[in-house]
Amino acid sequence: MTPISGLRAALAGGRLAAGVLALGAPATVARAVGTTPADNPDGDYLLRLFGSRELVVGAIAAGALGPGTATRAFLLGAGVDALDAAAVLRAGRDGRFAPHRARAIASGCLAIAALGVVAAAVPRG
C-alpha cells in the first residue's frame, strides 16, 4: 500500500465510521463537538442527516475503482468539508457555538478537506 492509497483508505473509512456513528449514536457525536441534545432538540435529526451524507461520500470514495471516479469522490468530500467549516464558523459567529470551539472544529474540517485534495491530486497508487 502506498502512502496515497493509505490516505484514501483512511479518508473513506473515516467517513464511513463517522456516518455509522452519527446515524446510530447522534447524542454521542453531539457531546463530542461540545453540545447536548438539550441544547438543540433537533440535533439528533441534523446529525443523522450528516451521517447519511458521510456514508454516501465514504461509500463512493471506498468503491472508487478508476482514477477519475476517485478524483471526483475525494474532491466532493473536500468540498463538503470546506462547506462544513464555513457553517460551523458562522454558528460560532452567531453565538450557537463557543467561538473557540467553532474555530477548532472548522480547523479540523479544513485539514480533512486539504487531505482530500491531496488524495485527489496524486495519481492513484
From first to last of its 125 residues, what are the pLDDT tens digits of the chain?
A: 788 888 989 999 999 999 999 999 999 998 888 887 777 777 888 899 999 999 999 988 888 656 678 788 899 999 999 999 999 999 999 988 889 999 999 999 999 999 999 999 877 65
**Cβ pair 110, 81 in contact under 8 A:** yes
- pLDDT at position 87 is 95
- pLDDT at position 43 is 81
- pLDDT at position 94 is 93
CA dist list (Å): 12 to 8, 63, 88, 100:
6, 9, 22, 28
Look at residues 71, 53, 80 and name the one whose alpha carbon lies nearest to residue 8. 71
Q: Give the CB-side neighbour count of residue 84, counting CA atoms within 13 A.
A: 22
- pLDDT at position 45 is 84
Where are the domains positioned within the chain?
3-121
**Cβ pair 43, 37 in contact under 8 A:** yes
- pLDDT at position 3 is 85
Distance CA 42, CA 113 (A): 26
Identify the residue whose cell numbers are 458562522.
90
**Cβ pair 15, 55 in contact under 8 A:** yes
Residue 67, Cβ density class (10 Å: 0-12 exposed, 13-18 middle, ≥19 buried): exposed
